[in-house]
Amino acid sequence: MKENTCAACDCELDATRIAVKIGGRTVEVCCEECAVALREAEAAARASDISDK
Ligand SMILES: [Zn+2]
């Protein structure tokens, strides 16, 4: 399984990749902006998940 693309925008990752922990697993994104976007998306998903139960 290849994971050489940004988890947020699907850009190819290079040396400036950033590792972000999302819900217990680590994903890599291309820049800080994508890291923030991913964290916010995960937080929103988790919030809706909790209110579901
Ligand atoms: Zn990106």
3-state secondary structure 2-47: CCCECCCCCCECCCCCEEEEECCEEEEECCHHHHHHHHHHHHHHHH
Domain borders along the chain are 1-45
Q: How far is the CA of 53 from the centre of ligand 1 (A)?
A: 32
- How many CB atoms lie under 10 A from the CB of residue 22? 17
Q: How far is the CA of 15 from the centre of ligand 1 (A)?
A: 13
Q: What residues does the ion ligand 1 have nearby, CB within 5 Å?
A: 6, 8-9, 11, 29-30, 34
What is the C-alpha to C-alpha distance for residues 38 and 44, in angstroms, rounded to an integer? 10
Per-residue pLDDT band for 2 (boundaries 50, 70, 90) equals low
Q: How far is the CA of 38 from the centre of ligand 1 (A)?
A: 9
Q: How far is the CA of 39 from the centre of ligand 1 (A)?
A: 12
Q: What is the pLDDT of residues 7-53, one digit of tens each?
A: 999 999 999 999 999 988 999 999 999 999 999 999 998 898 877 66
Q: Which two tokens stand for residue 47?
A: 């919030």
pTM of the model: 0.77
Write down the pLDDT at residue 7.
93
Among candidate residues 26, 53, 30, the one with its CA nearest the CA of residue 42: 26
Q: If you average pLDDT over residues 3-10, what whole number do you get?
A: 90
